[in-house]
Amino acid sequence: MSNEHDLVVIGGGPGGYIAALRAAQLGMNAAVIEKEPKLGGTCLRVGCIPSKAMLESSYLYHETQNNLAVHGVKVSGVTLDLAAMLARKDKVVTTLAAGIDGLLKKAKITRYLGTGRIDGVGKVVVENGKEMTPLTAKNIIIATGSKVANLPGVKPDGDRVGTSTEALSYSEVPKHIVVIGGGYIGLEMSSVWRRLGSKVTVLEFLDRILPGIDEEVAKEAHKIFQKQGFEFRLGTKVLEAKSEKKQAVVRFEGGDPITCDRVLLAVGRAPNTEGVGLDSIGLQLDERGRIPIDDHFRTAVPGVYAIGDVVRGPMLAHKAEEEGAACADAIAGKYCHVNYDVIPAVVYTHPEIAAVGKLEDQLQKEGIAYNKGKFPFMANGRARTLNDTEGFVKILADAKTDRILGVHIIGPRAGDLIAEAAAAMEFGASSEDIFRTCHSHPTLSEALKEAALAVHKRTLSI
Ligand code: NAI
């Protein structure tokens, strides 16, 4: 095996392995260095995929227990086999990780197991225990992702105080779980354990949940989650959380300490650049610890590129994937472009929350005149048949041109529905383009069409 490569990618997550696959497609001799035995990064091993597996299973359990009678389906004796649920989740992960291995093999990409460290321009060392493998690389992509952001006073101890990694695999259903941070991870993992029977308390520093999500949608989500039994304490500054005698104690300003079974720390993620050897090539980080790049993913050092969670932009797997493919194109001297104005975001709670484009409050702050159309799922036939009618679709369109500026959805299958909005925006569509497109009946997607009609004050179904 030659240790000389056209491209060495450090990090085998969705950004890294996609970059390598695209590079191989373009005829490059590419390699991926990943320190974990499984490829797929945080997303596949301990993020997007296992959390969605647990969300799906816990939803089915909760629905079977509580919401089938309305359909005339009577069930009794429903019990939880948590070990089987966790095993299914692990199997989904293992199968997908093996799939990535297969893809790399087919594309003749070399996979190195170990930690990749840049060791001067054009040089990378793979460290695996005491074994060191030196590589030479015409091009290097840093795709090392992110790690859990810390909070002073709260140290994940691998016991009662943990991160989403532990929360994906608790061996018993906690009686009471305290979640620090009411963002993506906090709410998705809270949903899983709430459905399985835990009492859930969310401590959020801000006076709202889901910062970064449209305010009207976040308010609706707050109401719905409260109905589901979540306890929210907003405007809460956590001072300390630690394990104490097989339990955990959380101290925060303005209230009595809470004793609980588990604490989940979910206050964001930070770029992972430690030990990557940036010093060896004199690469500086920006004020938020990210690697600065230009619009071709080039760092300040020729031949060194960076993508995904280590660079600016949302920390989302699909954003990293887009950048991975575009970066390989850039290295090959091809056209490369990522449209950062059209990156959808999804929170996989129930109902799901999905967004693309500008927030309403953002348009107001920027002084952009817009028209707004809103349509509730309550008035959507398919949502009625699903018995899943919470939430709405909101479309924001430019007041002069009608071009769609943002779409925000809270409701059933919002994560799938947002794809139509993203495609429309990518094509520069107007809201009229959406409502003039024939939508199948009865589908949830009709709510999007009706919201588009509502932009023009000509909705037909309410
Ligand atoms: P987040 O940024 O979504 O939410 C963190 C929350 O913690 C915010 O509401 C913030 O105000 C709050 N917070 C910050 N400091 C706090 C403090 N001292 N006390 C209490 N609350 C505090 O971050 P999260 O949920 O950890 O997720 C990390 C990243 O992972 C996100 O950037 C997200 O993009 C990504 N992710 C995406 C998912 C998806 O696409 N469905 C799922 C899970 C994560």
Burial class (CB in 10 A: 0-12, 13-18, 19+), 237: exposed
Write out pLDDT tens, residues 354-371.
999 999 999 999 999 999
**Amino acid in the structure at residue 220:** E
Question: What confidence score (pLDDT) does residue 315 get?
Answer: 98
Only one residue has tokens 């009946």, namely 441
pLDDT, residue 1, reads: 59
How buried is residue 298: exposed, middle or buried, by Cβ count under 10 Å (0-12/13-18/19+)?
middle
pLDDT tens-digit profile of 243-286? 998 999 999 999 999 999 999 999 999 999 999 999 999 999 99
Between the CA atoms of 134, 27, 342 and 430, what dihedral angle is there, to the nearest 10 degrees?
180
Whole-number CA gyration radius for the chain: 23
CATH architecture of 342-455: 2-Layer Sandwich (3.30)
Specify the length of the chain in residues.
Answer: 462
Identical fold for domains 4-148+271-338 and 342-455, yes or no, is: no
Q: Give residue-wise pLDDT tens across range 396-453.
A: 999 999 999 999 999 999 999 999 999 999 999 999 999 999 999 999 999 999 999 9
pLDDT of residue 361: 96
Please, are residues 59 and 350 in contact by the beta-carbon 8 Å criterion? Answer: yes
Greatest Cα pair distance in the chain: 69
Q: Distance (Å, rounded) from C-alpha 316 to C-alpha 308?
A: 8
* pLDDT mean over 98-118: 98
Confidence bin at 344 (pLDDT 50/70/90): very high
Quote the mean pLDDT of the chain: 97
**Residue 200: which H helix or E strand, with range?**
strand 199-203
Provide residues with CB under 6 Å of ligand 1: 151, 180-186, 188, 203-206, 211, 238, 266-269, 314-316, 346-348
Local confidence band at 330 (pLDDT 50, 70, 90 cut-offs): very high
For residue 252, report the distance from its CA to the centre of ligand 1, in Å: 18
Name the token pair of 250.
């959380």
Residue 123, pLDDT score: 98
Q: Which residue has the tokens 């720390």?
A: 265
Beta partners for residue 271, in sequence order: 146
CA distances from 233 to 79, 191, 203 (A): 31, 16, 5
Q: Percentage of residues in the chain with pLDDT exceeding 90?
A: 98
DSSP 115-170: EEEE-STTEEEEEETTEEEEEEEEEEEE---EEEPPBTTB---SSSEE-HHHHT--
CATH code linked to domain 161-267:
3.50.50.60
Q: Are strands 392-398 and 238-244 parallel, antiparallel or unpaired?
A: unpaired
| Ligand 1 atom nearest to 164, measured from its CA | 26
Euclidean distance between CA atoms 291 and 273, whole angstroms = 8
List the domain boundaries for the chain: 4-148+271-338, 161-267, 342-455
- Residue to probe by mutation, ligand 1, list 51, 185, 192, 309, most atoms within 8 Å of CB: 185
Mutate to test the pocket of ligand 1, among 184, 191, 250 (most ligand atoms within 8 A of CB): 184
Tell me, rounded to whole angstroms, the distance of Cα 257 from its chain centroid: 31
pLDDT tens digits, one per residue of 182-221 = 999 999 999 999 999 999 999 999 999 999 999 999 999 9
Q: CA 231, 413, 60, 200: dihedral to nearest 10 degrees?
A: -10
Atom 17 of ligand 1, residue of closest alpha carbon: 205
4-148+271-338: in CATH 3.40.50.300: no
Long-range CB contacts (< 8 A, 24+ apart) of 84-87? 85/54, 85/57, 85/58, 85/61, 86/169, 86/171
Structure tokens at 314: 């949302």
Q: In angstroms, rounded to a whole number, what is the distance separating the alpha carbons of residues 284 and 50?
A: 34
Q: Given this model, what pLDDT does residue 227 score? A: 98
**Per-residue confidence (pLDDT) for residue 158, from 0 to 100:** 82
Task: Dump pLDDT digits (tens) for 63-97.
Answer: 999 999 999 999 999 999 999 999 999 999 999 99
CA of 178 to the centre of ligand 1 (A): 15
| Distance (Å) from CA 400 to ligand 1 centroid | 35
Q: Decide if 456 contacts 432 (C-beta within 8 A).
A: yes
Which residues are CB-contacts of 12 (< 8 A; sequence separation ≥ 6)?
A: 32, 33, 34, 36, 39, 40, 41, 100, 111, 143
CA-CA distances (angstroms) from residue 162 to 159, 177, 266? Answer: 7, 11, 9
The residues, any chain, with a CB within 8 Å of residue 19's CB and separated by 6 or more, are: 7, 9, 141, 143, 307, 323, 324, 325, 327, 328
> For residues 320 and 309, what is the distance between their CA atoms, to the nearest angstrom?
7
Percent of the chain scoring above 70 in pLDDT: 100
**Whole-number pLDDT of residue 47:** 98
Helix H or strand E encompassing 48: helix 48-66
Token couple for 340: 């950062």
* pLDDT above 70 (res 126): yes
For β-strands 131-142 and 4-10, DSSP reports them as parallel
Q: Which has the closest alpha carbon to 223: 113, 132, 323, 351?
A: 351
Contact in structure between 179 and 151 (CB atoms under 8 Å):
no
- Active site positions, annotated: 441
**For range 36-54, the mean pLDDT:** 98
Q: How far is the CA of 245 from the centre of ligand 1 (A)?
A: 29
pLDDT grade, residue 155 (50/70/90)? confident
